Structure 1
Amino acid sequence: MILEIRTYRLKPGTGEEFVRVMREESVPLLENAGIRVVDCGASLVAEDGHEEAYLIRAFASLEAHRDQEAAFYGSDAWRRGPREAIVSRIDSYHTIVLDVPDEAAEAFRGK
């Protein structure tokens, strides 16, 4: 399984609304697009006073990761939906992609 962990450094004062939009609007769209969301939320710590958040997603393969992301981020549902509410609150983000056993996603979900 391919596990993607994305971290977001957010603009000051936007963390709570970012996480709300992520959970209530973005995650349902991702899941409707066939992307498995393992978890998302606010970081427990903030670096340099910046609020931070995360998104963890699982994919069957690197090819599925590439194809599903391209389809999702190119979709009208994303572009006309929560895209602006999400992107406007991000200062920067970082993504790591790992090849892990299937049980790893469940371990994150069960936290």
Structure 2
Amino acid sequence: MDNAESWLLEIRLFKVKPGTRAEFDRISREGTIPLMRSLGITVLAHGPSLNNENGYFLLRAFPSEEERVERSQLLYATDEWLAKYDGPVSSMIDDYDTSVFAAGHDLGRLIR
């Protein structure tokens, strides 16, 4: 984790169903993002797309691919996710895409 070169950025681009973006954003701000952070997931940014009325993005950072997979699996297995967010969030998502890429040398220093 001390090697700044090992940090990865993950961006998720969601296409939410028409008319659901405000609620998707509310649930994200009030629920899913705080849950991610409580599990040690570094959320750098998230919110509605400025150029797509049904778009939403989530930008996260991880020290390694293994950590990204492990933390994501942990999130989706929590009682809180399953009881409060899985159904509502899944019903609002029309589609999404995930891209993972290596971060620059300074990212590790910047996010600590």
User: Normalising by structure 1, what TM-score?
Assistant: 0.86
Using the TM superposition, give the Cα deviation of residue 102 of structure 1 relative to its aligned residue in structure 2, in angstroms.
5.3
Pick aligned residue for 1:44 from 45, 50, 57: 50
| Cα shift at 1:27 | 0.4
TM-score (norm 2): 0.85
Unaligned runs of 5+ residues in structure 2 are 1-6
Q: Does 1:57 align with 2:63?
A: no
2:27 is matched with which residue? 21
Greater share of helix: 2
CA gap of 1:104–1:44, structure 2 versus 1, over 3 A, is: farther
Pair 76,17 (structure 1): closer, same or farther in 2 beyond 3 Å:
same
Q: CA RMSD of the aligned region, Å?
A: 2.0
The residue aligned with 1:69 is 72
Provide the C-alpha distance between the structure 1 equivalents of 2:97 and 2:107, rounded to a whole number of angstroms: 20
Report the count of equivalent residues.
105
SS of the residue corresponding to residue 84 of structure 2 reads coil
Question: Which residue is equivalent to 1:12?
Answer: 18
Deviation for aligned residue 1:103: 3.5
Percent identity, please.
34
Runs of 4+ that moved beyond 4 A: 104-107
CA distance, structure 2, for counterparts of residue 28 and residue 71 of structure 1: 14
Deviation at 1:106, TM superposition (A): 8.6
Structure-2 separation of matches of 1:32 and 1:21: 16
Q: Give per-residue Cα distances to partners, 1:41-64, cap 9 Å, x unaligned.
A: 000112xxx611000111110010
